[in-house]
Chain A
Amino acid sequence: MTQQSDWKPKLLGFLCRWCSYAGADLAGTSRKKYPANIRVIKVPCSSRVDSLFILKALRLGFDGVLVSGCHPGDCHYLTGNYRARRRIAITKKFLEYLGVEPERLQASWVSASEGGKFAEVVTEVTGGLKEVGPNQLFSERKLDGTKAKAGS
């Protein structure tokens, strides 16, 4: 339980190389403050993100995943983010059905000029993750903690 108080959410961000990554850069250069809980992976396009990446991230212990790309209509490859939108939408709905907290998979559109929006999104998503707590989806421990109680 002592670990609980030190716990900080770990968020994995897949940022599109053309918009959201540049947006994150702008947030930095314009000295916007946002939580340092995000680790960023640069992807060529938001449609590069397979649902497998998201599951793998959760399996490795990330508390949440953020996929971010260009606004619909602004894709560098014209239609990439439309395809990403379909894939992320079904992934999100399906994971919710399985019992994964919806906060753990978040998606956003952030353009290269929206440093402020990037900071906001990361703040909100991190806040959401703090509420749902550590990711124990794939841990061997029982979720309700009954075993721990019996032992102590």
Chain B
Amino acid sequence: MEQKLRQEAKALLEQNKVDWIIGFEPGSLKFTATPLITRDKNDTERLIISPFMVNNLADFLTGIEGRVGIVAKGCDSRSIVSLIQDNKLARENVVILGVPCPGLIDLAKIERLVGKDRDELDDITREGDKVAVKVEGKKKEFAAPQVLFDHCLACELPTPQEYDILLGEPRPPAPELEFSGQNIAKLIETPPAERWEFWKNEFSRCIRCYACRNACPACFCQRCFVEETEPQWVMPVPRWQDNLIFQIVRNIHVAGRCTDCGECERVCPVNIPLRSLTREMYSIVDELFQFKSGMDKEALPLMAHYEQEEAEDLFR
């Protein structure tokens, strides 16, 4: 599969079908992959497909000029479709190299299960439904759902729906929704005042690094409301009140674009459970307007469309 990817990417550049290739190359640390953005055909030899290619590459599309060939997992392809819906990207300017994704491995989960730091592990391999970890010469096996990212467990589209070249066999979606909805179900059961207290505590840790915003392919504003100074909507000082307002409003602004890809939660340096916000927003949008982000490139964006009769029970 990797060989085919390299060939295809090289051919795209050689035949001048694209100006750029965006994909993954091995990271400098063990068990990592890092984004590779190149216009040199020799660099395509470094392209890889691995269970550690965690980034949502669609994020780079809004910052690049010219035609792009992009490696896309199911979730990335949804973000790309969402950008096409919003006219941020022309379909003909992007060549999607689709990768059916069996789910990405969460190193933090493996560390917790094995009780060792990632540097002390010898090897991690995916074998069908199992993930084998080699540590100190011994091999330990885990069921895949134990060590995959939470957002991968909720994945509704492992195989890209929108692609030009598909690498490998399509995979059927198998979302373990019960598992992925656990955190939200627990929150909804608690009384509202306690829920608010929960978020207060979580966001008192926030350092407002804006990693969530910068990693988000749906957050493509040239100028974010948090940086406006006249009026200054939120203070730049990371106090929980302003942190919380930032995240609430960010979630509302990306509603209908957010595909629940989990990037915000993955990049958060203080581990705020941001997917418990995005996932709920995703369900609210689906429930009220029967809209799933990034599924159909012909569909109008959520906020650019309306029906005559909807959500009337919320209005006096």
Contacts and interface: CB of A to CB of B under 8 A. Distances in A.
A143 B193 CA distance: 8
Interface stretch (A2-10, A33-41, A106-114): A106-114
A85 B252 contact: no
B192 A51 contact: no
A50 B309 CA distance: 22
B233 A89 contact: no
A123 B288 CA distance: 28
A93 B306 contact: no
Q: Give the size category of A's interface with B.
A: 35 or more
Nearest to A96: B192
Interface in B176-214: 187-188, 192-199
Interface in B276-316: 280-281, 284-285, 288-289, 302-304, 306-312, 314-316
Contact of B248 (A79, A85, A89, A95): A95
B192 A100 contact: yes
Interface of B (DSSP majority class): helix
A72 B309 CA distance: 9
Contacts of A144: 193
A125 to B, nearest CB: 8
Q: Give the size category of B's interface with A.
A: 35 or more
A89 B315 CA distance: 9
A59 interface: yes
A92 B281 CA distance: 11
Closest 9 CB pairs between A and B?
Answer: A99-B196, A99-B195, A82-B306, A108-B316, A89-B311, A99-B192, A51-B252, A93-B284, A138-B241
Interface of A: 50-52, 55-56, 59, 72-73, 79, 82-83, 85-101, 106-109, 121, 124, 137-138, 143-144
17 contacts: A51-B253, A52-B245, A72-B309, A73-B308, A85-B306, A86-B310, A89-B310, A90-B284, A96-B192, A97-B280, A98-B195, A98-B248, A99-B192, A100-B196, A106-B316, A138-B241, A143-B193
